[in-house]
Structure 1
């Protein structure tokens, strides 16, 4: 099984990274894991030319978005994490997904989207600084999940679980319960 981990956090050792690490630790040892740390990628923003829809590839010069698209096409499952930025995923992660539309969904002749990853699974993790219950009431982490679910729904991925940590500024450490949730999440990825 090939699993791609996409880390949308700017912090290599931050809470999103830790949560992703715990989810990966729960995967069987025979899983092939490829990690993309979005901060380290060189990705030009989408220019909206729409040529990728008909060509099924991005016409911009080769960069890390092309490599990420290839990894996702080859993957059986994804683990994706992001901090909350204004009630959504991080900007760098959004730019990456904008550039990979052609690798995630096609377009039928009638203009309706065609999922390219039916049967694949994804798990999501998110963090936010807003304290609970305000993080729920103000749609912070749920906003991250909402925007990512939109991408994965149209791509054909099934979201099999989510884990959010709120109040990160005041509580910058993962609790044993949160670690266990992340590990459970990783386990859900491979259960059929």
Structure 2
């Protein structure tokens, strides 16, 4: 049994990202323990760029939900991350959560080289974007959000085992059966 942590970085409780994350989670339920976190419900202060987390190995801000989720990330085997695309990047609340948990994902060697702290774990990324295909990719909208999340997970040492991108959500909010099936199959592989 694996511990799966789902980070829903969308403020919409029944939106596209939420529903795709649910399909992945439902596809993996049979043999795994799943915990769901709606990032927009978290009470957390933004990173203050003090850099004290680097030598201390933990955020020095007063304990809040970012610390609690960081502990859950450390204890999980699989991370499923979803976000809508905002200005070619992940949602602001998801970014705050990641910024506050730098020492959970990576450390530094004495020479300053990054050390992956979640090495050997797997992850799945779900991104939605209002820009239609292929412009979402050409203009780096969903591609930008995907790249930003992959960067965080890369430094953490995660292996990405599945990616889903739903583009054109402004004019087409429907999730195709093919995409839902892909989400279920990714979940089943976890």
Aligned twin of 1:142 = 143
Count matched residues: 189
Give the Cα separation in 2 of the matches to 1:124 and 1:28.
Answer: 18
> Structure 2 matches for 1:49-60, cutoff 5 A?
49-60=50-61
Deviation at 1:52, TM superposition (A): 1.0
Aligned twin of 1:77 = 78
Give the Cα separation in 2 of the matches to 1:114 and 1:11.
Answer: 35
TM-score (norm 1): 0.96
Deviation at 1:135, TM superposition (A): 1.1
Aligned twin of 2:15 = 14
Deviation at 1:56, TM superposition (A): 1.1
RMSD, aligned α-carbons:
0.9
Aligned twin of 1:115 = 116
Give the Cα separation in 2 of the matches to 1:52 and 1:172.
Answer: 40
TM-score (norm 2): 0.97
> Structure 2 matches for 1:31-110, cutoff 5 A?
31-110=32-111
- For the 8 Å contact 1:163–1:185, the answer to whether it is kept is no
- For the 8 Å contact 1:84–1:128, the answer to whether it is kept is yes
Give the Cα separation in 2 of the matches to 1:135 and 1:27.
Answer: 29
Unaligned runs of 5+ in 2: none
Give the Cα separation in 1 of the matches to 2:65 and 2:127.
Answer: 23
Deviation at 1:11, TM superposition (A): 0.4
Give the Cα separation in 1 of the matches to 2:76 and 2:25.
Answer: 14
What secondary structure sits across from 1:187 in the alignment?
helix
What secondary structure sits across from 2:4 in the alignment?
strand
Deviation at 1:28, TM superposition (A): 4.0
Q: Which runs of 4+ in 1 moved over 4 A?
A: none
Aligned twin of 1:130 = 131
